[in-house]
A = this chain, B = another copy of it.
Amino acid sequence: MTSDLTDEAFLADFAELSAIGATAAGGVHREAGTEADGRAREWLRDWFGRHDLHCRVDAVGNMYGCAEVVADEPWVLLGSHLDSQPTSGRFDGAYGVLAGAYAAAAVAARPGGARFNVAAVNWFNEEGSRFSPSLMGSAVYTGKADADAVLEVVDEDGMSVRDALGRIGFHGGDVAPPAQSYAEIHIEQGRTLVDDGLDVGVVTSNWAAYKYVVTVHGEQAHTGATHMRYRRDALVGASQVVLAVRAVADEFGPDTVLGSVGRFITEPNSPVVVPARVRLAADVRALQAETVEAAHARFLERVAEIEQAGEVHVEIESAAFRPSTRYQDDGVALAGEVADELGLRWRTMPTMAGHDSVNLKDVVPTVMLFIPSVDGVSHNEREFSTDGQMLAGLHLLTSTARRMVTGALEAVPVP
């Protein structure tokens, strides 16, 4: 039953998927391993079943919809992630999973000339909002993280990945299909394609980043009875850290360095207690590794200044560097060629945000595609791409996948 892979069916299915964990403002709230994530996963498993894709679930909850068309050969994987940030948009990740599923089913329905098998994939916990770090499922798949260690990661309420996956029925035992190559399509989450009036982007490299986990230590005290000169206020110190990250980004001029603090937890967090500790997650990003290293150095200098003031101790618990690396040139050329054939307006561009493809490209030839985000809004319920933009991307992914299955990226070396 693969006759319904029409544009209309895609849009109808996307609307159905978007209703799972939907928010009143048009977004979704579907963090990894939650009940809403579980329902989205069940929906996808049903979809796989109705389109002759055999569903496998591995130990860390990655889902594969497999069409084995050439026995014992490796797999072209096509996918993204169904999990979302809290109160976020309905396109981020979910669009790419559904497009991957449609492309895989279309290739499987007419597999003429296939040299490899094809599978759609939904990676577990790309977002990293509930369980840290992000890109979790693809990190295990590519051997960058250990499955047993990942399963022990706990959320703020102390629930482990293992228990969360077990509870929603997606702590699987299947062997993951070995990849020959990978393609992913995603919303841009920035304004480049919109500003340039283009249909699609072909990603050439990812921005470099430093991601920090920081604890600011002060001394718990009474807000109403402790004189200012005796205070060691962790929240004052942490606020200085937040503004230091912003100042570092500003120092480098427009559009060069991004810097933010996203997670910020105050303890004990009572109206009349001077905070004892603040735990925060910061990041600093730039296209060039040298730039992000320079920003990192400036951040450390500013942290040292905050500590020298003597009120708080700023502990940088971890500073994880993500290098800027290139997507394989042959994959970029292939996608550009297909885009030209389809009459799409396109450009090459880096990705500022992280994606599962950043992990995959280190182990297999990987193609990363973008469609425009209206106003560049993302991680926000107002995130939006038009039906036409989604369908143009779907066609590009499907045609690129056909070429990959017939061996277009067979001889591409991986570093």
Contact = CB atoms under 8 A, between A and B. Distances in A.
A379 interface: yes
Contact of A226 (B257, B261, B376): B376
A227 interface: yes
Interface stretch (A60-68, A235-243, A332-340, A390-398): A235-243
A189 interface: yes
Contacts of A205: none
A211 interface: yes
A207 B257 CA distance: 47
Nearest to A187: B225
A352 B225 CA distance: 5
Give the size category of A's interface with B. 35 or more
A308 interface: no
A270 B263 contact: yes
A24 B250 CA distance: 44
Contacts of A211: 271
A224 B92 CA distance: 13
Given A227-B255, A352-B224, A376-B230, A262 B275 contact: yes
Contacts of A378: 221-222, 225-226
A293 interface: no
A221 B191 CA distance: 13
Interface in A79-112: 85-88
Contacts of A87: 220, 268, 276
A253 to B, nearest CB: 10
A377 B189 CA distance: 49
Contacts of A54: none
Contacts of A354: 224, 272
A287 to B, nearest CB: 12
Contacts of A353: 222, 224-225, 272
Interface in A216-254: 219-231, 233, 235-236, 238-240, 242-243, 246, 249-250, 254
A268 B190 contact: no
Interface of A: 85-88, 127-129, 132, 134, 188-191, 207, 209, 211, 219-231, 233, 235-236, 238-240, 242-243, 246, 249-250, 254-255, 257-276, 281, 283, 285, 351-354, 376-381
Closest 8 CB pairs of A and B: A129-B270, A239-B239, A86-B268, A189-B225, A271-B281, A224-B353, A223-B260, A239-B242
